[in-house]
Structure formats: structure tokens, C-alpha cells
Amino acid sequence: MSGSCCAPDAGRKASRESLLITEGSRRHPLVDLPGGEFRMGTDDAGANPGDGEGPVRAVNVGAFSIAPTPVTNKEFAAFIESTGHTTAAEEFGWSFVFHAFVDNPHAHQRVVAAQWWLAVEGATWDRPRGPQSDLEDLDDHPVVHVSWDDAKAYAAWAGGRLPTETEWEYAARGGLDQARYPWGNDLTPGGSHHCNIWQGSFPGHDTAADGWAGTSPVRTYPPNGFGLYDVAGNVWEWCKNRWSTGSTISDGEQRVLRGGSYLCHDSYCNRYRVAARTSNSPDSSSGNTGFRIVSDPTG
């Protein structure tokens, strides 16, 4: 996967039957959006080459409803309790954890191209830093170590689905036209932090100037113009779409991720911009990847 602060592709495939049945009721408060035409993508000079962020194009999107936050640990726990779902990380026995969150990083295999990512045995959604960790004080943080397959299963259980990439960007822009971030063009307007990203020297030292190293509670920063939180930083969010860059069509394995994470830094991926995008395989998971759900109009 492109971008060194993003989660590497585990390259693993699961073969399992979904345990979920759509129950047809909203389990989340959702924000209703009217849809319409907006300008998607960017021609920004800061865009990542090869990511297919541009060109800017007028796109129509239908009405839909979207969760104001990523799915939290508390919400995901209810899903697990209700269904007994086994996540990809649990099935494979490991997931990727950022090196700074591991007590003994030398005990784990590192990713060659991004050695700050460790393959930690026993890292799961409820053991996010490895088998000795837990979710104490993390109920309102976004769930992580969930694959695209896991996210899709949760969305079905909740009576919704994953957003298309077009829906995600329309919602993330919050009614602004071609702004660099969901709140405007200044990363820290008036010196105020509006998202959870990396500050300092990546990957060695995070000053946590925004108040958090690692995930933050989902309503920590101001919402965008549509009332959505964390559409920049905190955790990457799975989208429904297969990955393509316009000129390159996906083989069907890779899925789109949007929004950036707490590991994004302008010296590396700079993918907390609203038009930024990346991808991963549908059975991959990591400590900086989550999701939010959407629903189609009713009645």
C-alpha cells in the first residue's frame, strides 16, 4: 500500500461465512444529507502522485444518511456480543501495531518497507496494542484492527452499509467547495487543532500537541459543516469501493480508505486532506484503521 504511515497490506485472505443478518433498524444516530452536485477530488500540488486524487470533477450524489462518528469500541462490542463475529485479526492471530505502542518491539516481525509497523500476535479490536492490553477508558475511541470484511459485516448488522467513496468525500467536505480540509484551508485555524494527526518527527517522536498520541475520543474536535466528526485524522475509514486511480483499474482485491489517521504527517503521507485516499486488501487490519456507516433513505 502506498504511503509509509498507512497500514501495510497483510496480503492475507479469509474464507468465512458472514454471521450477520440485516435487522433493518438504525442502531446509530445518523445525519441525513440531501445529496446533490459537488466538486470531487483535487488538483492541489500537495496531492500524492499515483493516488488518483484528481482531476477535480463535478459529481452527483443521491441523498443518504451517515453516522456522525466512526464506530466506537463500545458500539463494536455490542455487535460482537450480539453475533459472535470473529474478526480477521482474531482469525489470523495477529494484526499490525505501531512500534511506539509495543512494550518489546524487538520481539515482533517488522514490515521491511515501514519498520514502525509490527506484526503483533494477539493484537485485536479489544486488545489493540497486543494481548496484554485492553479497552479500559477507550469506550468512546474508534474501534481499530477491523478489516473491510469486518466493517461490512458490522454495517449489515446495524441495518446500513459502508459509504461509497463519493458519499464519503461529499460528507467529509461538509458543504465547502474544494477546501483542503473539512473545516477550510488552514490546518490549525487560530492556532487550534481540528484533527488528531502526528506532530513532531515521524516515526520517532510524536509531541501529541493536539492532545493525543494514538486514537482520540470520537467527538474531541469540532465537527464539519454537516455535523460530522473525525473525517480528518484519528483513524482511516473503509469505503465500499474497489480501488482504482482512473488510469489503473483494481484487480478487485484492494478497497478504498479515506480520511487519514493519527499517524499521518506532512513529511510522509499528508493524507488527512479531504481529497486524499489510499487502499488496502479487504482482510487487512491495523491499529489505525476503522470505519463509519451510512444508510439509504427510508420511505
181, 161 Cβ separation under 8 angstroms: no
* Per-residue pLDDT, 294: 98
* Per-residue pLDDT, 49: 80
* Per-residue pLDDT, 146: 98
* Per-residue pLDDT, 247: 54
Residues of the chain with pLDDT under 70: 1-5, 7, 9-27, 247-252, 299
Q: pLDDT per residue over 31-85, tens digit each?
A: 999 999 999 999 988 788 889 999 999 999 999 999 999 999 999 999 999 999 9
C-alpha cell at 35: 445529496
Q: What is the pTM of this model?
A: 0.91
Domains located in the chain, CATH noted: 53-84+138-295 (3.90.1580.10)
Q: pLDDT per residue over 84-108, tens digit each?
A: 999 999 999 999 999 999 988 887 9
Residues 293, 283: Cα–Cα separation, whole Å: 18
* Per-residue pLDDT, 15: 29
CA neighbor of 232 nearest in space, from 240, 243, 223, 241: 223
SS3 for the chain is CCCCCCCCCCCCCCCCCCCCCCCCCCCCCCEEECCEEEEECCCCCCCCCCCCCCCCEEEEECCEEECCCCCEHHHHHHHHHHHCCCCHHHHHCEEEEEHHHCCCHHHCEEECCEEEEEEEECCECCEECECCCCCCCCCCCECCCCCHHHHHHHHHHCCCECCCHHHHHHHHHCCCCCCCECCECCCCHHHCCCCECCCEECCCEECCCCCCCCCCCCCCCCCCCCCCCCCCECCEEEEEEECECCCCECCCCCEEEECCCCCCCCCCCCCCCCCCEEEECCCCCECCEECCCEECCCC
